[in-house]
Structure 1
Amino acid sequence: MWSTWTEGGPPGTRYNRSKSGWFDTSTFEDWFFSLVLPTLRRQEGKKLLIGDNLSSHINMEVLKACKSHNIEFVALPPNNTHLTQPLDVVYFRPLKLHWHQILDKWKETLEGQRLPTIPKNTFPTLLNKLWENITDNHLKAGFTKTGIFPTDEAPVL
C-alpha cells in the first residue's frame, strides 16, 4: 500500500489490495469488519446487507457476525444483477461517464501528457473529484428502480 494514497483522496477512504487485483474473501472480510460492522453497530434495530452473489460475499465469519449483530444478509439471485443490483442499474453508468471526463482532463495536463498511466500518488486526488460529484440521490434511485425500496416487483418482472 502506498502511504500517499491517504492524501488527497475522499475523506474516510480505506484502501486494500489482493495478489490478483480482484476483490476476494480477504478484502471482503476487511471491508466488512473495518467499515460496515462498526457503522451498523451504532444503528438501532434490524439492518440489511445486500450482496450480489459474488463467491467472496458468502463468508462464514461475516455471516456469523451479521447474525450476532441483528444484520440480515441477503444475496441477490445470480446472473441478474443488471435487473436487481442497484449499483449496476443506476449508479455505475454515470460514475463511469464522469470518471472518463476526469481522466480526459487529467490527460490534458502536463503530467497527463507526459505519462502513459496515472501515478499511484495522483490517483486518490482524481478519485476524490469523482466522489465529490456522486450524491445520495444516485444511490437512492438505484433502490427505487430495482424495486428494492420501496418494494415493487414490477421493475424485475
Structure 2
Amino acid sequence: MAPKKNYTPHQMCLAMEAVRKGDSYSAAAEKYGVPRMTLRNKVTGKSPAVCHMGPPTILSMNEEAILKEWLFAMAERHCPIGKEQLLDSVQLIIKSANRKNPFTNDRPGRKWFDLFLKRHPEISERVSQNLTTSRESVKQEHMVKWFADVEKYLEENNLPEVLKDPTRIFNTDESAFFLNPKLDRVLVKRGEKNIYSTSGNEKENLTVLLTANAAGQLAPPMIVFSYERIPRAIAESIPENWGIGRSENGWMCGSTFYEYVTNILYPWLVQNNTKFPIIFFLDGHASHLTKHLSDFCREKQIEVIALYPNSTHLLQPMDVSVFRPLNLFWRQETRK
C-alpha cells in the first residue's frame, strides 16, 4: 500500500482545477502534493469532489475565508494581526453564535491555530519586519516611507480631504499607572550594597486609555482595573461618561478595547456631530484589534491606521505630550 499523503481540501481543489485546464494527473498531483489516483477519482466522479478529512472544523469554510481576508486587509494597513488577536476573534465568533465547541472558555488553542494555517497555506506566520528590539534602530528613511505609504493609502481610498479637518483626525494611546512605582535613586551610607525598600506589589497597576483629535478635543477616557469585581467606591468616584473595564492583570485587552470604541468613543463622536469618515491613528503593536472591532469601524467609517512600530517616542502625540508628563506627576503623587 502506498504511503498516505497529507494534504488539504484546498490543495485538492487546485489540483482538480489544473487537470481541467489541461495538466496531466501526474503533473497536477506532484505540483500540489495530492495522491494521483484520488485526484483521478475525484475528477472522473468515482468519488465525491469534496470530502472533508478528519473531524469537522468549528468555523465554516466561509467564516475562515472571511478571517483570512481580514488578516490580509489589516496587514495592508500596517496593522498585522498576531496569533492572540486571531484567537480572540474566533472566541468572539463562537460566543456570539453560542456554538458548541471543545475549547476552554470558547477560545481555541495552539492545535486549532496550527490546523488553521494548514488549511490556508497562503497564510504565513512571520516575525513582522517592522518590529525592532530597539527604538534607536528607527531611521529617518523608515519614517519618510511610512508617511508616503499612509498618504498613498489615503489617496487610494478617497480620504485625503479628512486631513484638512483637525476634528476628524484622532489619536489614541494607553499607559499603565503602577500603584507602587519604583523609587528613584536614594541616599544611603557609602559602601552599602543591598538596598531594599518596602512598597507593596510593584506590578499592581491600572491602565488608562486616552483619545483626542488634532483640534485638541479630548474624548472620555477609559480606565481598566485588575479587580474581579470593581469596588463600588471606586466606580462611583469615576465621572459618569468615562469608561470602566476590567482584566485579569489590569492591562487593556481585545474585549475592553472593543467596549471602549463601541460604547464610549463612537457615541461621543455622534454626540459631538463629528463628520465621518474619521482617521484613527493608534499603536499597531498593542492595538488589540479583533475581527468584530474591524467590522464595526468599517461600518461606522472609522479608518484605523497604525503608527510606525517602535516610534511612539517620536510619532505618538498622546505618548509624547500627555502620558510622559502625566506619569511623572503620578509617581510624585504616589510617593507623597
Q: Shorter-normalised TM-score: what interval?
A: 0.5 to 0.7
1:69-103: CA deviations, max 9, x gaps? 12111111211111111122121121012223332
Alignment match, 1:45:
276
In 2, Cα distance between the equivalents of 1:87 and 1:56?
Answer: 14
- Percent same amino acid among aligned pairs? 34
In 1, Cα distance between the equivalents of 2:260 and 2:322?
Answer: 20
1:10-41: CA deviations, max 9, x gaps? 45222211123321111111111111121223
* SS of 2:256 mapped into structure 1: helix
* Distance change >3 Å, CA 45–CA 32, structure 1 → 2: closer
Kindly indicate whether the alpha-carbon contact (under 8 Å) linking 2:242 and 2:264 is maintained by their aligned counterparts in 1: no
* Distance change >3 Å, CA 92–CA 46, structure 1 → 2: same
After TM superposition, list the pairs within 5 Å mapping 1:6-155 onto structure 2: 6-42=235-271, 43-105=274-336
In 2, Cα distance between the equivalents of 1:100 and 1:88?
Answer: 16
1:79-129: CA deviations, max 9, x gaps? 111111112212112101222333234xxxxxxxxxxxxxxxxxxxxxxxx
In 2, Cα distance between the equivalents of 1:30 and 1:15?
Answer: 9
Q: Which runs of 5+ in 1 are unaligned?
A: 106-157
Deviation (angstroms), 1:55: 4.3
Deviation (angstroms), 1:56: 4.5
Structure 1 or 2: larger strand share?
2
1:41-82: CA deviations, max 9, x gaps? 342232121210134433221121111112111111211111
Q: Which moved more, 1:88-97 or 1:48-57?
A: 48-57
How many residues end up aligned between the 2 structures?
105
In 2, Cα distance between the equivalents of 1:56 and 1:44?
Answer: 23
In 1, Cα distance between the equivalents of 2:285 and 2:312?
Answer: 11
Alpha-carbon RMSD:
2.0
* Distance change >3 Å, CA 41–CA 59, structure 1 → 2: farther
Q: Which runs of 5+ in 2 are unaligned?
A: 1-229
Q: Which moved more, 1:79-88 or 1:34-43?
A: 34-43
* SS of 1:51 mapped into structure 2: strand
Amino acid at match of 2:266: L
* Distance change >3 Å, CA 73–CA 10, structure 1 → 2: same
Kindly indicate whether the alpha-carbon contact (under 8 Å) linking 2:254 and 2:288 is maintained by their aligned counterparts in 1: yes
After TM superposition, the score normalised by the length of structure 2 is 0.29
Kindly indicate whether the alpha-carbon contact (under 8 Å) linking 1:6 and 1:13 is maintained by their aligned counterparts in 2: no
Q: Which moved more, 1:70-79 or 1:35-44?
A: 35-44
